[in-house]
């Protein structure tokens, strides 16, 4: 038989442990955020911009999407670690070699979607590779939620493109990869 003092101690210990677990869970979820953004600049479409965004998402293991909007802007959703999203937004603002620089980002908070486990570039095409058929390029989040290097992210992105493109478009893509080497 447990004494009343033993029961109280056990109850206090279980409450303390539960409180610590809840605190850890809240701290982890506090680091997570979701944002929706519109990117505006002189040249943010047809210049490899969404590929840059997806490579950032691959590098930082972020969920979401990037799409060209009819008004010439790029719509973006990012979900994941807040610090990683901030780094991605810095890269988005800076742009690519061929896009405009110091792009303006209109950002709003969005609801976290626990079911969102991919980052998709919708309707990807490539003028430099002469690929005009649109493809949705889908990155599945890594279960480890680790960061990888820019070089590793580029290799993952190339693999996604190679597994998605078909026929003549795949041949054009592979030719472009060979020319880059």
What residues are labeled active site?
A: 50, 68
Residue 64's closest CA among 14, 112, 123, 118? 118
Q: Dihedrals φ, ψ of 41, to 5°?
A: -175, 170
| Dihedral over alpha carbons 83, 87, 88, 89 (to 10 degrees) | 100
Candidates 122, 153, 120, 140; CA nearest to 45 is 122
- Please tell me what DSSP assigns to residue 141: P
CA 161/CA 145 separation, integer angstroms: 22
């Amino acid at each position: 038989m447990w004494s009343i003092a033993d029961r109280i101690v056990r109850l206090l210990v279980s409450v303390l442990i539960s409180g610590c677990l809840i605190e850890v869970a809240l701290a982890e979820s506090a680091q997570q955020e979701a944002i929706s953004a519109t990117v505006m600049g002189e040249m943010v479409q047809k210049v490899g911009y969404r590929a840059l965004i997806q490579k950032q998402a691959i590098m930082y293991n972020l969920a979401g999407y990037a799409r060209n909007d009819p008004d010439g802007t790029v719509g973006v959703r990012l979900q994941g670690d807040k610090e990683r999203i901030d780094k991605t937004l810095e890269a988005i603002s800076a742009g690519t070699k061929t896009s405009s620089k110091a792009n303006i980002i209109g950002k709003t908070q969005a609801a976290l979607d626990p079911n969102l486990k991919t980052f998709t570039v919708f309707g990807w095409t490539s003028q430099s590779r002469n690929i005009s058929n649109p493809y949705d390029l889908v990155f599945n989040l890594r279960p480890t939620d680790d960061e990888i290097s820019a070089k590793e992210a580029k290799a993952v992105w190339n693999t996604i493109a190679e597994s998605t493109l078909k026929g003549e478009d795949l041949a054009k893509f592979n030719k472009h990869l060979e020319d880059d080497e």
